[in-house]
A and B are shown apart, each in its own frame.
Chain A
Amino acid sequence: MGPTYPSTEGAASARDARRALQRVGAFPAAPEPALELLRPDASEPPRLQRAEPLEGDAMAVRAVDGAPVVGIAAFLDGIQQSRVLAYWRGGIPVVHGTVAAAVRLRRDRTLVRWRADADRVDRALYAPRAALDDSVWTSLSTTCAVRDTLSPDERGPWHPQDLVARALHAVQRQREALETACAERWCAAGDGPLFVDGGIAAAGGAAHSPLAVGVVKSHRTLYVDGAALPLVLGLRAGERTTMFTVASPRRAAVASWYLRLRDPAAHDALWGLVRVEIARDDADGARADLVSRWILAERAPLALPDPRWGAMAYGIRLTEEYLRAVSR
C-alpha cells in the first residue's frame, strides 16, 4: 500500500498531479467523466453459483422472527473515483485515483466521526511503470504517490484500454484495502455491530468478527442453484432465506442469506433485495433473524435521492456523502 495523505494536506490532489505531469512533459487528457461511470462493473458477468446450505438441508424462505430493532452501532463504506489525467508518449494513460473509507458512529441518531483514524483518504497516480522513463517515475514520485499497475515481470506492448482497466482495478484494490483496515479497526476496538456496505469475506479479520455485518446490494453473482432461484426472487418484504456458506479460495468463508427489504412491486425482482454476510463461527437461525431485524430497521429514512435506495441504508448514504465531502 502506498502512502496515504490526509485529505486536508491535499498533497496528491488531482491538480497537483496534473501539474507534475505537465512538468515531465505528459500530454494532458481532456476532461472526462470518472472511469467508474464509464466502466461500471464491466469485468464480472452475471451468474448463478450454488452455495452450501448452513441452515437446514436446502434453501428455504423464513419470515424474519421479530420486529425490526435498532442494533447497528456504526456504518462502514468506501468510495473511489478515477480519471485519466494525461497520456505519456505512445498513449500510455496515467490515472489519478482517489479512494476513501470511513467508519461513522451513530450517536443520538446522528452519524459522527468515530475517532481520528476512522477516516482514510488516499490519492495517487496509477501508471504502468515499465512504460514510463525512470526519470519521469522519479519526478512524479516526488510530488505524489505513484503506483504501478503492472506486475514486475510484465512487458508490453499493452492495449491502452487494458492499461486503463488495470488502473481502475488498482484503485479498487486500494479502496478495498482502506475499507478492510477500517473494518478491522472497528472489530478490534469498536462497540457494537458495524454495518459494512458490501461483503465482509475479503475484509481480513473482520470476516471472523461477530461485530461485522456485510450487506451486499449488487447481485451479479446469485448464490443459488436453479431450483432455489424462484425462492430468492419471490421473497417478500421482511422475509429471508435460510443461511448458506459463501466461500472462495482467496476469501474467508462467511455465513450469508438473502433478505428482502422492500417489496419489488413494479421494480425488477432484485430490487429491495440484499445479501447479508456475517462471520460463520456464531451463525445460526436466531442470529440471522436478529441481524435481519437490525437491517430491516435501517429501511427508514429512505436513502433517496440515491438511485440504489431500494436496498441502501440511509446510514450508508450519509457515509458516502461524508466521504465525498472529505475527499473532494
Chain B
Amino acid sequence: MSIGRVVATERKPNTPHEFHFWTALDAPVGIGTIVRVEGGATADGGALSVYGVVVEGFSYTDLQSPLHDVLGADGDPSNAVHAPTDRTEIRLYTAHALRHVPDEPLQPVPMGRVHLATDEDIAVALRMDGYLRDGQRTAIPIGVYRSGATQSPVYLDADFLLGPEAAHLNISGVSGLATKTSAVEWLLSSIFAHFPEQKGSVAAVCFNVKGPDLCFLDQPSDRLDDTDRALYAAAGVPAEPFRDVEYFAPWTARGHTLATLRSHPALAHNVRPLSWGLREVLQYAEVLLNKDDVDAKADALIDFIRERVVNQEFSDPILTRGHTVRSFADLAAWFSELLRGMEGRDMESWRTHHVATIRKVRNRLTNISTRCRGLVTDDGTSSDLPFGAFRDRAVYVVDVAASEEDAQDLIFARVVSQLREQLERRTLGVDHVIVFVDELNKYAPSDGPDTYVRQMLLDIAERGRYLGLVLFAAQQFRSQVHRRVVGNCGTALFGRMDMDELATPGYATLAPATRVKLSTLDKGQLMVRHPHFAQPVFVRFPRPAVLGGRDGVERFPAEPEPTLEAAVVRSLRTLDPTITLEWVKQAAVAAPEEDVLRARNRTLQVRPDDVKAYFRAQFRARVAPEAVPDRPTAMPLAGSEFSDPYGG
C-alpha cells in the first residue's frame, strides 16, 4: 500500500538525486525512513523503481500568516480546539535517492507512488544484495533499520569493513550518550559471529584508555531486555559475552599489582602483565623522545647502542670490563663506566660521539624506566601480548587507562608496530586484526606536533587494509581528528552529536533535519555511512551483551594495592592455586622487595609447570646474606706471659 505520492513543482523540482513526496498526516514516515517510489517506465517499457531515504520534512497549512490563526481563535489558543474543521495541513518530505533500478539512464525521479521499504527493498536500496547472496556472503550486521512494523537488519560488507577493498571504521559522538564503546562492542560481536569463513581468522586488540570501559568483556550483562534480544535475534548475533578475552596491563609504580580496574581476584585468571625490558623499548625510543631530544647526533648514538651494545658482549679499551647490556640497569652501568673512562682520559668524543651527546642520550634513555615505571622494567624481564599465537575470535584488551601519557604512547606504538610487522610476515596467528582506539583525537589530532603515534595511525589508515590491520577508532569530535585518518575510514558511525560539532564543514553535506536528528539521537541509535550506501542510514543496535564498565566495577570492585607477599600470592595463584601466603613468606624470606618482584615477574613470564620450584630458584642465584658466626679464638693461657699483653 502506498503511503505517499511524489510531487514536484517548478520551484521545487525533482532531480535524479533528490525528490519530494507528500503523505497522510499519520503516515509512519520520518527523517531516515527508507522509501520506494514506483511509477514511470524505462525506455524499453520496464518498471522503474527509485529508492530513497528521507532527509527533510516540512509541514504547513493554507495559512498565509500566523495572525490569521490568532484572529480565528479570538486570540485564545483554547478556542482553536473548538473549530469543527481542522486546517488543511501537509506533510511534505524530501528524500535523497539511494538507488535507481535500472541504474541507467539516470533520470529525475518520476511522479509515482511512494511505499515504505520492505526487507527486500532495504537490501536493494543499500546495495546489500551484492554481498548477501548465498556463496558470496560477506555481510556483517551493523544494526536494525526500523520503520513502522519493518525491522530489517542492515549489513556492512566485510570486504569494505576489514579490507581489502576498503577498511577501517570511525565512530563519533558526545561522551556518555553516543554509546561509542557499546557500538564497538556490539560490532565486534557481530563480526565474530558473521565474519565469513573463507576470509580467514580475525582477532581484536582493544586499548582501554579510560576507566573500566572494556574491563569486563567476558562477563555477561544483566541489562538486556526483550527489545535487545529481539535485535540480536534479527541480526543473528548470539547475545553473549566474548568467549576468549585476555587482558594486559602494566604494573603499578610500586609493582605489587597490575594497574587496571580489573583487579578483582575472581577475574584474575586472564589478566596478564604488560612489561617490557630495554630491548623492547629501545626499538621505539622515538616515541618517547621528541624531535628536540633526538637530533641527528643523538639518533646516531641510539642506533649504535641498539645495534652494537644491546644484547651482546661489548668491550672497548675505554671500559674496564666487557658489558652485556640487557636491561636499563645494565645500560646505566655501561653509560657510567663509559663517561668515567672518557673523563679519566680527558676525551671529548668517543667513536665520533661527543661527550655532551652521550650525556644527553644517557639522560633521555635511562629515565624512560622512571617515566614509564610499571611498564618498563629495569631488569629486562618482558611480558607481552602473545604475538605469533593470536587466536581466532579472541579479544586482547590492553588496559592503559591508569598509565601515564608517555607509557600509553609507547604501548600503543609498540603493540601496533608488532601487529603490523607480524601481519606482514603472516606470523601473527590470525589473518585480520581489529585495533580499537578510543579518544582518537588525542592520538591523531588534526593539529599539533607530528608525533610518532600519529604517523603510525596515518600509516595504518592508508595501508593497513592490505595487511589485514584494521583501525576501529572513536572520538567525540571528528573534526579534531587528522583528515587523512578519518578520510581513509571506509565506514563511519555517528551517535548523538554536539550541535557545535555538526556546524563544522565536515557535516555540510547532511540535510539540516538529518543534523538535528543526529543531535537528538537516543542511545542505541546510529547513523551509518558505508561505501555501498549512497546516503547515510539510521539503525538501532542492542545493548552489548557484556558487562558494562560501571556495572562491572560494582559487581567486581577493584582490589586495593596489596602488600608485597599478598600481591605475589595473587599473581602466582593464577598459575598454581595451591600457593599460599605462608609459602610465599617462607620462599622469599629476607629477600629485598625488588628481588621478590623480579622473581614473580620471571615466573609469570615463563609460566613454568612447577611454579613453586621456579619461583624459589630465582632466589638461589643471589648470594643470600648469611649471619657470620662467632669466630673461634684461642683462649689466653692463664699465667703465661701472654696473659697480660702489657706485662707487668
Contact = CB atoms under 8 A, between A and B. Distances in A.
A109 B79 CA distance: 15
B contact patch SS: loop
Contact of A321 (B68, B69, B72, B88): B88
A304 B85 contact: no
A318 B62 CA distance: 9
A302 interface: yes
Interface in A38-71: 70
B63 A304 contact: yes
Nearest to A305: B64
A305 B68 contact: yes
Contact of A109 (B69, B73, B86): B86
Interface string B75-119: 000011011111110000000000000000000000000000000
Nearest to B79: A300
Size band of the interface chain B makes with A: 10 to 19
A151 interface: no
A297 B64 contact: no
A2 interface: no
A298 B86 CA distance: 11
A109 B68 contact: no
A161 interface: no
B71 interface: yes
B84 A321 contact: no
B64 A301 contact: no
A317 B82 CA distance: 18
A305 B65 CA distance: 9
A106 B64 contact: no
Nearest to A314: B85
A308 to B, nearest CB: 14
A198 interface: no
Interface string A295-328: 0011111101100000000110110010000000
Nearest to B82: A300
Most buried by A among B62, B69, B83, B85: B85
A233 interface: no
Interface in A153-179: none
A318 B68 contact: no
A243 B616 CA distance: 119
B84 A70 contact: yes
Contacts of A317: 62
Contacts of B87: 301, 314
Given A301-B72, A302-B71, A106 B63 contact: no
A300 B63 contact: no
A72 interface: yes
A111 B80 CA distance: 17
A203 B79 CA distance: 35
A304 B68 contact: yes
Contact of B84 (A109, A302, A304, A305): A109
Contacts of B85: 106, 109-111, 298, 301, 314-315, 318
A298 B87 CA distance: 12
A109 B63 CA distance: 17
Most buried by B among A106, A299, A302: A302
Contacts of A302: 68-69, 71-72
A110 B85 CA distance: 6
Contacts of A321: 62, 88
A106 B88 CA distance: 12
A315 B85 CA distance: 7
A98 B85 CA distance: 28
A326 B24 CA distance: 18
B84 A72 contact: yes
B75 to A, nearest CB: 12
Interface in B25-70: 62-65, 68-69
Contacts of B84: 70, 72, 106, 109, 297-298, 300, 315
A300 B68 contact: no
A67 to B, nearest CB: 10
A301 B77 CA distance: 12
A248 B68 CA distance: 39
Nearest to B89: A110
Interface in A98-128: 106, 109-111
B73 A300 contact: yes
Nearest to B25: A110
A110 B72 CA distance: 17
Contacts of A72: 84
A258 B399 CA distance: 87
Interface string A137-158: 0000000000000000000000
A109 to B, nearest CB: 4
A300 B69 CA distance: 9
Nearest to B71: A302
Contacts of B68: 302, 304-305
B63 A318 contact: no
A302 B85 CA distance: 10
Most buried by A among B65, B71, B80: B71
A297 B84 CA distance: 7
A51 B87 CA distance: 38
A78 B298 CA distance: 95
Given A300-B73, A301-B72, A302-B71, A110 B86 contact: yes
Contacts of B65: 304
A321 B87 CA distance: 12
A300 B80 contact: yes
Interface string A273-302: 000000000000000000000000111111
Most buried by B among A297, A304, A305: A304
B76 to A, nearest CB: 11
Interface in B575-631: none
A54 B420 CA distance: 102
A14 B149 CA distance: 45
A304 B86 CA distance: 13
B402 to A, nearest CB: 63
A142 to B, nearest CB: 29
Contacts of A314: 83, 85, 87
Contacts of A106: 84-85
A297 B72 CA distance: 12
Contacts of A300: 72-73, 79-80, 82-84
22 contacts: A70-B84, A106-B84, A106-B85, A109-B84, A109-B85, A297-B84, A298-B84, A298-B85, A301-B80, A301-B83, A302-B71, A304-B63, A304-B64, A304-B71, A305-B68, A314-B83, A314-B87, A315-B84, A315-B85, A317-B62, A321-B62, A321-B88
Interface of A: 70, 72, 106, 109-111, 297-302, 304-305, 314-315, 317-318, 321
Given A298-B84, A304-B65, A305-B68, 6 more contacts: A299-B72, A300-B73, A300-B82, A301-B80, A304-B72, A305-B62
* 5 pairs of A and B residues whose beta carbons are closest in the complex: A302-B72, A304-B68, A300-B83, A70-B84, A305-B64
